[in-house]
Amino acid sequence: MARYVDGLKLPPAEAAAAAAEQVQLVEREARNKAKAAYQVWGNGFWSGNPHISPLRGALAVHGLTVDDIAVASFHGTSTKYNDLNESRVLQRQLEHLGRAKGNIVLSIWQKHLTGHPKGAAASWMLNGLIQSMLSGIVPGNGNADNIDQALRSCNLIAHLSVPLRTYGYKAGLLKSTIIIHVDSGLRS
């Protein structure tokens, strides 16, 4: 097949080189288009967009919404204010993201089992959440024999005292509250 550039017929060797160059150009453009499409429609489509919350974006990547979250594993220091504060923060997040009323999130508080592991807490919480997702069992808090009345204001979260068997669930949250104490050494 004759190869023409600007109306001039090219010799076979030059025509082959020009064709190879055009193939490379088309392949490079296809890679660039694929990268651009991935940036728009891929896993990070929401990253850096102030109008899409990270939680909503991460769920959307997997075809999920805030209503698909069935369980939240809390850090749960078992102190008077922390458990309430952790619950209130999640309650506000769920409300802000538009979770349907009556669609409660089951809670896991495993500090009564693990103690206070400090650095390992998140890995233990993740392991427990994965076990719960695989088995469908949401463990209750063995120490929760008298749920604080103040937690009733968090009506999108169920604070369990006994294990509950589910039919399985699609999504769970790992919640961690980090409290850092810094002693500046300044004294008055």
CA distances from 69 to 39, 40, 99, 127 (A): 26, 25, 9, 17
Residue 103 reports pLDDT greater than 90? yes
pLDDT band at 48 (very low <50, low <70, confident <90, very high): confident
Mean pLDDT of 160-181: 80
Answer whether residue 156 is part of any domain. yes
Based on the structure, what is the number of domains in the chain? 2
The answer to pTM > 0.75 is: no
CB 46 within 8 A of CB 54: yes
Give the side-chain half-sphere CA count within 13 A for 67. 6
Residue 57 CB burial class (10 angstroms; 0-12, 13-18, ≥19): middle
pLDDT band at 120 (very low <50, low <70, confident <90, very high): confident
Domain identity same for 14 and 79? no
**Domain span at residue 25?**
4-41
pLDDT of residue 186: 43
pLDDT tens across 126-147, in order?
888 999 999 999 998 877 777 7
pLDDT of residue 11: 77
CA distances from 91 to 42, 53, 64, 155, 160 (A): 29, 15, 19, 8, 16
Residue 4 bridge partners (DSSP) = 9
Q: What are phi and psi of 172, to 5 degrees?
A: -140, 160
Domain identity same for 155 and 109? yes
CB 160 within 8 A of CB 153: no
Domain identity same for 70 and 8? no
pLDDT of residue 182: 42
Domain identity same for 130 and 170? yes
Domain identity same for 25 and 108? no
Higher pLDDT, 161 or 135: 135
Domain identity same for 163 and 139? yes
Domain identity same for 95 and 130? yes
Selection from 78, 62, 155, 67 nearest residue 113 by Cα: 78
Q: What is the CA radius of gyration of the chain?
A: 27
pLDDT of residue 135: 95
Answer whether residue 61 is part of any domain. yes
Answer whether residue 75 is part of any domain. yes
Residue 117 reports pLDDT greater than 70? no
The overall average pLDDT reported for the chain is 81
In DSSP notation, 30-67 reads HHHHHHHHHHHHSTTTTTT-TTS-HHHHHHHHTT--GG
